[in-house]
Amino acid sequence: MDFSREFIALACRKGVLRFGSFITKAGRNSPYFFNAGLFDDGASFRELCGFYARAIQASAVHCDMLFGPAYKGIPLVAGTAVRLAEHGVNLPFAFNRKEAKDHGEGGTLIGAPLAGRVLILDDVISAGTSVRESVNIIRAAGAVPAGVVIALDRMERGTGSLSAVQEVREQFGIPVVAVATLEDLIGYLADSPQLAANLEAVSAYRDTYGTQAS
């Protein structure tokens, strides 16, 4: 998908995707680091949400509304709903707050009532905790989780032989759509003279920690 490479190019320009030596939460020495929180201005964040919108439309996953888990999913779900509406797809959206509000409307949910098939938007899936919480919230409201959309699938094994994305697919039986994957990143590096020096390290990391297929 062309937009996957366009997204990686944007992430590199913004410093969201960096190369070097980084220790992951799992204690692995990764040759790249991805921090979606660095899409921190109007122009780049609008582009990011546009990529989410394109990934959703390309995936053909049927959904009735969008849900963004606190906190990173909150701006994502609002921005992506706007970009989808620009393409003629007007979907309701909701998000949760971490702490229940005991005054006003109360509760932990803000936005449209959860109903029908609900698509979850998040930045990445690491331990799957955010997805699990979102699925529980959606099911508790009597709605159905339709899938998860993330920016980057690292295609990296967790504690077992599966990646975090594969574990979510297996545990909840829902699709996970990624704007870009590690395979897209490797393809981009191979075609980019300025970044090709990082190709060997990223490929070696995939060979050590990667899954066979995402």
On whether 208 is known to bind a ligand per the annotation, the reply is no
Query: Annotated binding residue at 129?
Result: yes
154 labeled part of a ligand binding site: yes
Cis peptide leading into residue 71 (ω within 30°): yes
- Say if residue 103 carries a ligand binding annotation: yes
| Residue 34 marked in a binding site | yes
Q: Which of 14, 62, 87, 101 is catalytic?
A: 101
Under 8 Å between Cβ of 113 and 141: yes
Angle at CA 165, nearest 5°, toward 160 and 168?
85
Q: How far apart are CA 186 and CA 189, in angstroms?
A: 5
The response to whether 8 counts as a known ligand-binding position is no
Residue 101 appears among annotated catalytic residues:
yes
Contacts of 17 (CB under 8 A, 6+ apart): 8, 11, 32, 33, 34, 152, 185
- What single DSSP character describes residue 161? S
127 labeled binding residue: yes
Known binding residue 14? Answer is: no
Instruction: Find out whether 46 is annotated in a ligand binding site.
Output: no
Which H or E element spans position 211?
Answer: none
Q: Does 14 participate in catalysis according to the annotation?
A: no
| Catalytic entry in 14, 62, 87, 103 | 103
- Annotated binding residues: 25, 33-34, 71-72, 97-98, 101, 103, 122-130, 154
- Annotated binding residues for 5-phospho-alpha-D-ribose 1-diphosphate: 25, 71-72, 97-98, 101, 103, 122-130
- Annotated binding residues for orotate: 33-34, 126, 154
Active site residues: 101, 103
